[in-house]
Structure 1
Amino acid sequence: MDKNIIDSCARDSYAGTASFGEIVMRLAGAGVESYYADYRARTTTYYGPEGDSYTIPLTRSAAAVPPDFDTAGVQDAIRGAQRGDVKYPAFVSLSVAAGCVGYMVWIAGRHVTYYGRAGEMHVEKFPPQ
Structure 2
Amino acid sequence: MNETTIATIERCAQASKDGTAHFGAIVQALTGAGVEAYFADYRSNATTYYLPSGETHAVALPPPPAMPIAGAFDAAGIQAAIRGAQRGEVMYPEFLTLSRAAGCVGYMVWLAGRHVSYFGRRGEVHVERFPDAP
Q: Deviations over 1:24-72 (max 9, x none)?
A: 0000111100000000100000000001100110013243111100000
- Match in the other structure for 1:70: 74
Moved more, 18-27 or 61-70: 61-70
- Separation in 2 of the partners of 1:66 and 1:18? 27
- Match in the other structure for 2:106: 102
Alignment of 1:1-129 (within 5 A): 1=1, 2-59=5-62, 60-128=64-132
Structure 2-normalised TM-score? 0.93
- Separation in 1 of the partners of 2:81 and 2:13? 19
Amino acid at match of 1:117: R
- Separation in 1 of the partners of 2:103 and 2:128? 16
Structure 1-normalised TM-score? 0.97
Note the residue ranges of structure 2 that are not aligned, 5 or more in a row: none
Amino acid at match of 1:46: Y
- Separation in 1 of the partners of 2:65 and 2:27? 23
Q: Deviations over 1:71-95 (max 9, x none)?
A: 0000000000000000000000000
- The CA RMSD over aligned residues, in Å, is 1.0
Identity among equivalent positions (%) equals 58
Note the residue ranges of structure 1 that are not aligned, 5 or more in a row: none
